């Protein structure tokens, strides 16, 4: 499915680390194999897919969205550079979990969605495994879709109607405005990427089916040209939404 055909597309960066294969993990891995694999045949790693902390684009996932995505990502394949082809498949997610930490400013516990992945050791992927172990390949990103995008300032769902607030700008509450991504609909992929080579450092999203690439730099107080740019983008997406709804009637 093309990016501009996925309503509510969200893409976020992820990080990888290598891990050992226990008997319990091997049992979960073998649920996806035609014949049982041994620990020697498998290379396993884990990835922090996303969390509920406000990120550099002033967005965060709700706890419920993370829990829903936890279920949706089980069984998904891991690919390279977001290329949806059989040749790009390199691993599979065999398990997921939520790991909680200290309380955030909003009172929720800091929560990470972690994916456990495996690949079969072959001569063809030996270099890739070496790069993951050596920390060369440690960036990734996920793509999923959400149905809600809630403004922290007014509570408006920007998937339905855009409010007057902009992410990163401070209003009456004195804190930078952010959007909470909720209502997870589907988990599409987890991809190994060279994050610096991505158009927006692995971060893009679309609330109405149009992919919007954001700056990779934090914006505590968006400049006027940034505000005007986002306003033009909102108007364009609203027009697309109206046209799409008209075509569906």
Distances in whole angstroms, Cα of residue 212 to Cα of each of 202, 224, 237:
12, 18, 10
Bigger pLDDT: 58 vs 11: 58
Say yes or no to pLDDT of 40 above 90. yes
Picking from 104, 132, 108, the residue whose alpha carbon sits closest to that of residue 43 is 132
Range 198-221 average pLDDT: 36
pLDDT digits (tens, 9 = 90+) for 96-145: 999 999 998 888 899 999 999 999 999 999 998 888 888 877 778 888 89
List all residues 6 or more positions away from 66 whose beta carbon is below 8 Å from its beta carbon.
Answer: 50, 51, 52, 98, 111, 113
What is Dmax (Cα atoms) for the chain?
Answer: 60
Helix, coil or strand: residue 40? helix
Confidence (pTM): 0.72
Residue 140 pLDDT: 81
Range 228-247 average pLDDT: 55
DSSP assignment letter at 41 = G
């Amino acid at each position: 499915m093309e990016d501009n055909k996925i309503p509510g597309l969200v893409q976020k960066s992820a990080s990888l680390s290598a891990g050992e294969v226990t008997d319990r993990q091997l049992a979960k891995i073998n649920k996806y194999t035609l014949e049982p694999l041994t620990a020697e045949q498998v290379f396993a790693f884990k990835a922090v897919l996303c969390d509920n902390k406000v990120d550099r684009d002033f967005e965060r996932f709700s706890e419920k969205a993370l829990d829903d995505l936890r279920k949706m990502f089980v069984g998904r394949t891991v690919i390279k550079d977001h290329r949806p082809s059989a040749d790009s498949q390199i691993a599979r997610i065999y398990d997921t979990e939520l790991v909680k930490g200290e309380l955030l400013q909003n009172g929720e516990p800091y929560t990470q969605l972690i994916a456990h992945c495996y690949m079969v050791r072959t001569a063809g992927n030996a270099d890739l495994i070496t790069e993951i172990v050596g920390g060369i390949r440690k960036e990734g990103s996920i793509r999923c879709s959400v149905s809600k995008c809630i403004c922290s300032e007014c509570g408006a769902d920007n998937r339905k109607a855009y409010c007057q607030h902009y992410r990163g700008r401070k209003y009456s509450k004195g804190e930078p405005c952010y959007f909470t991504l909720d209502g997870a609909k589907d988990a599409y992929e987890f991809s190994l990427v060279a994050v610096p080579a991505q158009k927006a450092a692995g971060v893009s999203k679309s609330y109405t089916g149009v992919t919007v690439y954001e700056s990779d730099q934090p914006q505590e107080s968006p400049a006027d040209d940034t505000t005007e740019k986002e306003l033009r983008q909102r108007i364009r997406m609203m027009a697309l939404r109206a046209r799409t709804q008209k075509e569906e009637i």
